[in-house]
Structure formats: structure tokens, C-alpha cells
Structure 1
Amino acid sequence: MRLSTVILPVLRWAEGGRERWRRAEELGFHTAYTYDHLSWREPFRDGTWFGALPTLTAAATATGRIRLGTLVTSPNFRHPVTLAKELITLDDVSGGRITLGIGAGGTGYDATVLLGPGERPWTPRERADRFGEFLPLLDRLLTEGAVTHRGEYYSAHEARTVPGCVQRPRVPFAVAATGPRGMRLAARYGQAWVTTGDPKVVAAGGTAEDSRAAIRAQLERLERICAEEGRDAAGLPKILLTGFTPDRPLASLGAFVDFAGTYRELGIDEIVLHWPIDGTMFEADPEVFEEIATEAPGQLS
């Protein structure tokens, strides 16, 4: 089982940002991700929050081995043509260490910040519709030298993406999806699948066991859809982004090993932990966090 982390873009580069990404590599994490938002929920809304792709570019120059990525990018404020150009550049700068976590997006500040007068946020169905066009077009842009596309939501006219990605055929996609349409995209285009669990479980005051049952159901749905698409689900890595279930995996090394072992049995291949941030939902003991990073992989091998 792989162990990765999320580093929120809340530190100035010269005031701890560079050192945090370097420390993630020193601790042996498989991948260090960051959120791709323009701003996020409280208490981060009015605090420091930097752009994901420039942050990852800087992280790529400060590290040499660890994989880097977004978790996740969405169509909320991005266009496939410009995103493809930036990803090709980032993949080049990093020497082929980039993973694109990508999903349909959700509600919140990113969904409204670009709205004009009289415009309304996209409905869940509209987000799914846009994602269904966005992801195949991005796949083409990252694998073909010149792309023309006229779609319902996105257009590209002889878009050039030379020289293409360092990674071949392109930067891998980790597709975040729990509904059937998104899972079908993961089966068709994904090199990994991402879940955060089921928010309805938390909203209803569910237990850790309730959350595991919900994720088990997601995995079973993914397996069925992969089979329908002619793909073996066993070959699609499954990623769990923690912090959004009733579990407390950062309570201690033992708690994490038990947590990770349970999810490994369910079929999860990679667990992602948020780097602790005091005074937030991601508050945790930094010493325990580092102990987990260094000791847990050996106990889970």
C-alpha cells in the first residue's frame, strides 16, 4: 500500500513552503498532492492560499524523487486547452513526476467566482455533463500534437501541445468520482480512481463502519462499471483521500495501521493524509504524523 500526503498551499514559499515539500520527500511519501482551488472553505477562505500549478512547479524544482499532483483539478475554473499546456510544462519541469487528480468539481467559492450577472452555478448534472466533455478533450490534448474540437461546452482550434508529456502516453489521470458517470470516465481514461468516502454518512452522523460500508459499495460499483467498459478493475489503483470520514487515523501509529489495514482489505491501494494544520479540521500531532510516514509502510508491507 502506498502512503501519500496533501500539502495545502497556505505557506509562503520562503516562509516554510519550500521546506514542507522537501520534508515530504524526506519522509518517504509516494506522492505529495495539493488542492487545486482558487480559495477554499473556512477557515482558509480569507487566509493565504496560492495557486496549485505554480506551487507544484516550485515543488518540482525543490525535490527530485517524490511524485507530485493535484487532488483535485476540476472544470470549475479551468479550460482543457490552457490546462493541457500547463501540465505539459509541469511534467517537463518535474522530469515526469506529475499525476493529475481530476473530478467534476462541486459547489462553493470556485463554482461562483467567475459567474457574471444573472448567471447561476452549475447543477450537479451540468457539472457531470461538462466533465464528460472536459476529460476526453484533455486526454486528446495531452496525446495529440494538434487538436480541433467543437463541443457543447469547450472548443479548441488547432491547439498545439508540442512536445507532449515526458510521461507516455501522457500525465496519468487519477479520477475522483463516486457516481456512475464519473466512474465510467475513470474506467475509460483513468490511471487511478479517487474517493473521499460518502459525505452523506458524515452528515447523518454515521460511524466508521458505516463509512467503510459506503466505500465498499463504491468499489463494487466501480468494479461493475469497469467490467462493462472491458477493463479489469484490479488494474485500476484506488486512492482514499482521508479527512472526510468518521475515522481518526492520525490518532496514533497503531490507529493508522489498523485503519490502513482495513482499507487495504477492501481494495484501497493508496492512502493520502493531510499534512497537519493547527486550528483546522486537519489538526493532528506532527510527531505522530511523521511517525506514521516513516514507520507505517514497513508494518503494512
Structure 2
Amino acid sequence: MRLSTVILPIKRWHEGGRDVWQRAEELGFNTAYTYDHLTWRVPFRDGPWFGALPTLTAAAGATTRLRLGTLVTSPNFRHPVTLAKELTSIDDISGGRVTLGIGAGGTGFDATALGQQPWTPRERADRLGEFVPLLDRLLSEGEVSHAGTHYSAHEARNLPGCVQRPRLPFAVAATGPRGMRLAARHGQAWVTTGDPKISATGTPAQSLDAIKGQISRLADAGAEIGRDTSTMEKILLTGFTPDRPLDSLAAFQDFAAAHAELGITELVLHWPIPDTIFAADQKVFEQIAVEGLSA
């Protein structure tokens, strides 16, 4: 099992932003991700919030070992052609350290910031179902043309391509059947936050059962196309289950052991932010980063 973190892009780069990414590398995290949103929920909506891809570009120049990624990018305000160009550039600048976390997105602020009406769940799934295969091609092939329902490309060139071959890895966030099939077909990893219905009122045991069921459905989706998903990376973005893994080192180790048994291969912890849902003791957090997986 690997341990990673997600750093929300809320600090000016030269006023503490760079320091957090460098500290994440010093602590030994495998990957540092960031949310790819235009803004996020209260209280973040009314405060500083910087772009994910420029932030990752800056982080690539400020670190040497740490993998970098989005958790997650969505079609809400992205287009595959321009996204592919930006990802290829960041992959080059970082020396091949980028992972793209990608999902269908939601109905929050991103969904209406460009002036459009929010898409229904089916419309979001339709768009993701076209977005991911096209992005796969754009990052793998030198030139791509495609005429789709939602996205098109005309002789889109993406040379010299990714440092990582055949392209940088995709971590597909999915819980529904269509998303699971996308993850099984195009993903090097699968991402979950657990079951949102259990987050507020359920128990840790119920959450484990729900995630176990999700992993089983991912296996079924893989079986449909002849892929053994047991070899896929399975990422849990923590903070949205009933557990409290950041309360202590012991609490984290119990949490990690239970999820490792299910087949989760990477845990992602939110970098602590005081006075928010991601508040945590920084000293405990750093102790977990250093010693959390030692047992």
C-alpha cells in the first residue's frame, strides 16, 4: 500500500503554497494530488483558489521525486484536445511524474461557471464516456481526428507525446456501471471516496462493506471486456467515509489495514486545513506520513 496526499490550491505560491508541496515530498508521500475545480464548497468558494494545472506545473519545478496528479479532472469545464496538450507539457516538465485522476464531475460551481445549465447524471456519464476514450487517443497518438456528439478533434497533434509511454496513467473515479466499465477499459487505477450515502450516518463497518461491493463491481466490469482488474491500482480518497483515520497513528494504521485487506492499494489524505472539514493535527498528520504504513 502507498500513502499520498491531496493539497487544495488555496495558498499563493510564494506565500506558503510551494512550501506545502515541498514538505509533502520531504515526508515521503508517493503522490501529491490537487482538486481540479474552478472553486469548491463553502468556505473555499469565498477564498483563494488557484488553477490545478498551473499549480502542478509549479510543483513539478519545486520537487524532484514526488508524483503529481489531479483528483479529479472532469469534463465540466475541460476539452480533451486542450487538456491533452497541457497534460503532455506537465508530464514533460515533471520528467514523467503525472497521473490524471478523472471523473464525471458533479453539479457544483464548476457545472455552471461557463454559463451553462448543470448536466443531469446521465448527461455527465455520456460526456465522460466520450471524453475519456478521446483523451486516451490524444495522449497516445501523434495526430487525432474525431467527430463526436460532444467533443471533436481535427488533426489534433500532440507531439512528441508523453514521457510516460504509451501515455501518462489514468485514475478513473467511478461507482456506477458505466463509469466502472470506463475504468476497466481505460484506467491504470480506479478511484473511490466510499459510499456517499454512508458518509454522514453510516458506520466504518458499513463503509468497508460498501467499498468491498464497489471493488466487486469493478471486477465484473473488467470481466465483461476480458480484463483482470485485480492488477489495477485502487485508490481511496479519504475524508468522505465515517472513519477518523487522522485522529491518531493507531487509528490510521487500523484504517489502513482494513482497507488493504479489501484490495485498496493507495490511500490519499487531505493536507490539513484549519477550520474546515479537513482540519487535523498537523503533527499527527506528519507522524502518519512518516510512520503510518510501517506496521
**Any runs of at least 4 consecutive aligned residues in structure 1 with deviations exceeding 2 A, and if so which?**
none
Q: Which amino acid aligns with 1:35?
A: Y
1:9–1:50 contact (8 Å) kept in structure 2? yes
Q: What does 1:1-301 correspond to in 2, within 5 Å?
A: 1-116=1-116, 120-203=117-200, 205-299=201-295
Q: Which amino acid aligns with 1:201?
A: I
* CA deviation vs aligned residue, 1:65-100 (integer Å, no higher than 9, x gap): 010000000000000000000000000000000000
SS at match of 2:268: strand
SS at match of 2:278: coil
Segments of structure 2 that go 5 or more residues without pairing to the other structure are none
CA distance in 1, matches of 2:199, 2:162: 39
1:197–1:211 contact (8 Å) kept in structure 2? yes
Q: CA deviation at 1:202?
A: 2.3
Q: CA deviation at 1:195?
A: 0.1
Segments of structure 1 that go 5 or more residues without pairing to the other structure are none
Instruction: Provide the identity percentage.
Output: 74
SS at match of 2:251: helix
Q: CA deviation at 1:115?
A: 2.1
Q: CA deviation at 1:126?
A: 0.3
CA distance in 1, matches of 2:230, 2:196: 25
**TM-score scaled by length of structure 2:** 0.99
Q: CA deviation at 1:297?
A: 2.2
* CA deviation vs aligned residue, 1:1-42 (integer Å, no higher than 9, x gap): 000000000011011111100000000000000000000001
Q: Which amino acid aligns with 1:109?
A: F
SS at match of 1:290: helix
SS at match of 1:297: coil
Q: Which amino acid aligns with 2:42?
A: E
Q: CA deviation at 1:221?
A: 0.6
Q: CA deviation at 1:208?
A: 1.2
**TM-score scaled by length of structure 1:** 0.97
CA distance in 1, matches of 2:131, 2:123: 12
Root-mean-square deviation (Å): 0.7
CA distance in 2, matches of 1:85, 1:222: 30
1:115–1:121 contact (8 Å) kept in structure 2? no
